[in-house]
Structure 1
Amino acid sequence: MIDAETARERVVAAADRLFYARGVQAVGMDAVRDGSGVSLKRIYALFPSKEDLVVAVLRHRTERWNAGIAGAVEGAGTPRERLLAVFDFLADWFREDDFRGCAFINVFGELGSGSARVAEAVREQKASFGRQVADLVRAAGGPDHLAPQLVLLAEGAQTTAAIAHDPGAATHARAAADTLIRCALGEAEGTAAA
């Protein structure tokens, strides 16, 4: 018998794969059982409702997203390159065979209006990403208004890449981000010199 933490991890990982591939509403708990190898009784002991499982999957995805962004940024040199590394991270992700867009946007589209907890988990992830980018902007000496602009480019690239099946959306978003960064940092430098 596997311990509760291992069972929880297996269930969340299986549900994550299935929800991302098929959508939350199309996946029954029997499929999660089959994908995880954990009995339904145990699954419901860990997650009393499907909504509980969806929220756990979203929190797991938030951790993975934050770690992915942090890893991409860590390998970059200058503060400007660190900002652009966000878009390089997206480019790599968009080229993955199973890319279906942003899981948070997908789940929000499916369940956000009917589940306050799901909507809140999605909003928490989007706010967390905004804080990551704002921290990078501050480290680069950029103005506060740059962070939400870069976040919008990243979010738009995710949606465009998914709908158009075009991983090149990351390249276009990166080029636009580079222009915004150059203008904003020039503006910040000009303000500092004044």
Structure 2
Amino acid sequence: MVLQARGFDMDHTTAEARLLDAADALFYERGIQAVGMDAIRAASGVSLKRTYQLFPSKEHLVEAVLRRRDRAVRDALAAYTSARPTPTERVLAVFDYLRDWFDEPDYRGCAFINSFAELGGTSPNVVDIVRTHKRAFADHLAALVAEAGGPPALAAQLALLANGAMVTAAITGDVGAAREARAAARRLLDADAAPGTAVPAASGQPPA
């Protein structure tokens, strides 16, 4: 599909996808407040008129970006953890997922935590999207912990570990935050297990 900016038409789906891709990348790299609609227009190749037809305000675009990222993260995490053979390995896989994510060269923290830090005081819709995403993450962990025979309190502790690792890795640039969080998660799982039934190390995974 040829860009509208070059004088050709662009269908609704293509224009929307280009805008969301451009906005997502720019917001994540620079921060939401530092990116204007004109920068998004230039990066996407969608005219400013068409941009505002699809997203009447920047806030509408921010919300659409976060909702799309929410679905993508949920799907990716579910696929990653479900590939492990045992319930305990699926719990620890959450932290392996974080390790892989932190190791990406463009990692700049959790987009939802970042968005809340920027807009939490001014945008109730963004707050709602962020809280919904974090609840879904916690619910996924709770389901994995329940399958492994652990209590809800353990799931809440692991969610705190995971979110803390996201922030720490963004600030320090150290992928080791995921490794340390995983080690702490193993200790919590071991402590919750019955005496003599410590959680075995997952095959092929980094030692705690």
Give the TM-score, by structure 2 length: 0.87
For the pair 1:43 / 2:73, whether they are aligned, the reply is: no
TM-aligned CA deviation for residue 3 of structure 1: 2.1
Q: C-alpha separation between the residues in 2 aligned to 1:112 and 1:3? A: 34
Q: Tell me the equivalent position of 2:110.
A: 102
Q: Which residue of 2 aligns with 1:57?
A: 65
1:3-152 equivalent positions in 2, closer than 5 A = 3-152=11-160
Larger radius of gyration: 2
Give the count of matched residue pairs. 188
Structure 1 runs not aligned, ≥5 long? 190-194
Where is the helix percentage greater, Structure 1 or Structure 2?
1
Higher relative contact order (CA 8 A, sep 6+): 1
Determine helix, strand or coil for the equivalent of 2:162.
Answer: helix
Structure 2 distance, partners of 1:37, 1:146, is 47
Query: Quick one: which amino acid aligns to residue 112 of structure 1?
Result: G
| Amino acid paired to 1:116 | P
The answer (yes or no) to whether the contact 1:157–1:173 under 8 Å persists in 2 is yes
Q: Counterpart in 1 of 2:168?
A: 160
- 1:160 is displaced (CA, Å) by 0.4
Offset at residue 99 of structure 1 (A): 0.4
Give me the whole-angstrom Cα distance separating, in 1, the residues matched to 2:71 and 2:180.
Answer: 26
Amino acid at match of 1:70: A
Give 1:2 deviation, angstroms. Answer: 2.4
Note the C-alpha offset of 1:5. 2.0
Q: Which runs of 5+ in 2 are unaligned?
A: 1-8, 198-208
Q: By how many angstroms is 1:74 displaced?
A: 1.9
For 1:84 and 1:154, the matched residues in 2 are separated by 11
SS of 1:14's partner is helix
Question: Take 1:22 and 1:116, find their aligned partners in 2: how far apart are those partners?
Answer: 22
Secondary structure of the residue aligned to 1:186 is: coil
- Pairwise CA RMSD: 1.3
How far does residue 8 in structure 1 lie from its aligned partner after superposition?
1.2
Match of 1:59, as an amino acid? Answer: R
User: What is the identity percentage for the equivalent residue pairs of Structure 1 and Structure 2?
Assistant: 55
Structure 1 segments, 4+ long, off by >3 Å, are none
Aligned-residue offset at 1:12:
0.8
